[in-house]
């Protein structure tokens, strides 16, 4: 069988940075090997930089971004806690499900899909919640929410923990967890960080850790136990075995983060911004309508309305089969009426913009 190369311009995974692939293919190290522990330590340091945090408890969890969401809730939500969730897409909905399974009293604050989170409405939903949760970059709709404003509102209103999904924002757009008052954050590797899916970059500050559930319902994601392995106490001595870390994936993340930080975070953000703007202008030049208002669009993930009379799935199939170009369908009620085009990590570049616009124009006959 020939090996296929796809251009992954959907909502993720994206094509990995070459450094990430090289990291995957390196000879494997043992999970307690001093060389690997040094790689793990440096990975955590690099994650702190992309998160914009000084939190000592910043680490790659050994599962995908959705497990990061689960880790965030199981470690911070005590049974009966009030959890206010800003819902403006699929991942906000999922947060409600996950929080409810932790025994939370969930208060969803519903927003129209395609619009950003409204901090005032979120804060008004309950006088004293234990946790307020929101998604920074909604992968289902392509919307960016203002987490800085939400953080300010949450702090002004009380002492709730702010829990943020940064799966599709990390490594692609500005993210400043500490400055914005994010207490708990989780992300994924397969979007703007340009690594295969399989790890969940995670961060939790001292305030949230102090309030944590002492024996969470998940053993695998128990942050109290995980700290012993990632060397929370500092230094490389005395690591305790918890589970076997996914060493190849961590090595891959380590390499990709090195690449991102060498380019410079602000340059990486600028590269994503530029590619997204070029794509969005190009789509409009093709006469296509974007789903999200200009002010709230993500550069790394653009949602486009499928023109009337066009078979959404047929276009995606042609793009895949003729051009090896993957774009995403919409989600939920938008499954057939939206496309989602991602330019993430190494794909946030002019060649990707030109290719996806050209292939789409040819396929649509525009």
CB of 61 to a copy of itself, least distance (A): 9
CB 202 within 8 A of CB 188: no
Q: Name the segment binding a copy of itself (CB under 8 A); options: 27-35, 81-89, 172-180, 272-280.
A: 27-35
Q: Name the segment binding a copy of itself (CB under 8 A); options: 17-25, 47-55, 169-177, 294-302.
A: 17-25
Of 174 and 324, nearer to a copy of itself (C-beta) is 324
Count of C-beta atoms within a 10 Å radius of residue 362: 13
Q: Which residues in 133-192 contact a copy of itself (CB under 8 A)?
A: 188, 190
**CA-angle at 289, arms to 287 and 292, nearest 5°:** 150
Of 52 and 197, nearer to a copy of itself (C-beta) is 197
CB 359 within 8 A of CB 342: no
End-to-end CA distance of the chain: 35
CB of 153 to a copy of itself, least distance (A): 28
Does position 248 bind a copy of itself by CB under 8 A? yes
Strands of the sheet with 328-329, listed across from one edge: 301-305, 338-342, 328-329
Q: CA-CA distance, 132 to 123, in Å (whole number)?
A: 8
Q: Name the segment binding a copy of itself (CB under 8 A); options: 91-99, 106-114, 255-263, 281-289.
A: 91-99
Residue keyed to tokens 């804060």: 123
Q: Which residue in 49, 310, 16 sits closest to 339, CA to CA?
A: 310
Does position 15 bind a copy of itself by CB under 8 A? yes
Q: CA-CA distance, 84 to 15, in Å (whole number)?
A: 35
Q: Which residues in 44-83 contact a copy of itself (CB under 8 A)?
A: 62-67, 69-70
Does position 197 bind a copy of itself by CB under 8 A? yes
CB 24 within 8 A of CB 252: yes
**What number of residues does the chain have?**
366
Q: Of these, 17, 19, 24, 117, which contacts a copy of itself (CB under 8 A)?
A: 24
Q: Interface residues with a copy of itself (CB under 8 A)? A: 3-6, 8, 10, 12-13, 15-16, 21, 24-31, 33-35, 62-67, 69-70, 94, 97-98, 101-102, 188, 190, 196-198, 215-220, 241-249, 320, 326, 331
């Amino acid at each position: 069988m020939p090996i296929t190369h796809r251009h992954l311009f959907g909502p993720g995974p994206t094509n990995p940075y070459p450094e990430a692939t090289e990291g995957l293919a390196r000879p494997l190290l043992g999970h307690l090997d001093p060389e690997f522990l040094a790689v793990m330590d440096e990975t955590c340091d690099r994650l702190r930089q992309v998160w914009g945090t000084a939190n000592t408890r910043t680490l790659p969890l050994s599962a995908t971004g959705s497990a990061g969401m689960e880790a965030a809730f199981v470690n911070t939500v005590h049974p009966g806690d009030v959890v206010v969730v800003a819902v403006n897409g699929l991942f906000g909905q999922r947060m409600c499900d996950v929080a409810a399974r932790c025994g939370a009293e969930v208060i969803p604050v519903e927003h129209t899909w395609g619009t950003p989170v409204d901090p005032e409405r979120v804060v008004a939903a309950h006088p004293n919640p234990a946790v307020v949760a929101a998604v920074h970059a909604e992968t289902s709709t392509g919307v960016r929410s203002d987490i800085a404003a939400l953080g300010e509102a949450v702090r002004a209103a009380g002492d709730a923990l702010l829990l943020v999904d940064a799966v599709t924002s990390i490594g692609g757009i500005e993210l400043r967890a500490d400055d914005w008052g994010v207490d708990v954050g989780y992300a994924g590797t397969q979007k703007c960080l340009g690594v295969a899916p399989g790890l969940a970059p995670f961060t939790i500050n001292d305030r949230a850790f102090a309030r944590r559930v002492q024996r969470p319902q998940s053993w695998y994601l128990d942050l109290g136990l995980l700290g012993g392995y990632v060397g929370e106490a500092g230094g490389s001595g005395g690591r305790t075995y918890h589970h076997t870390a996914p060493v190849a994936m961590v090595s891959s993340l380590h390499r990709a983060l090195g690449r991102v930080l060498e380019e410079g975070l602000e340059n990486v953000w600028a590269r994503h911004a530029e590619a997204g703007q070029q794509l969005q202008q190009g789509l409009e030049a093709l006469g296509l309508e974007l789903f999200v208002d200009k002010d709230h669009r993500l550069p790394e993930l653009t949602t486009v309305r499928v023109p009337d009379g066009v078979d959404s799935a047929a276009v995606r199939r042609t793009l895949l089969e003729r051009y090896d170009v993957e774009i995403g369908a919409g989600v939920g009620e938008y499954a057939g009426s939206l496309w989602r085009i991602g330019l993430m990590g190494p794909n946030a570049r002019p060649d990707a913009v030109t290719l996806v616009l050209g292939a789409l124009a040819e396929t649509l006959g525009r």
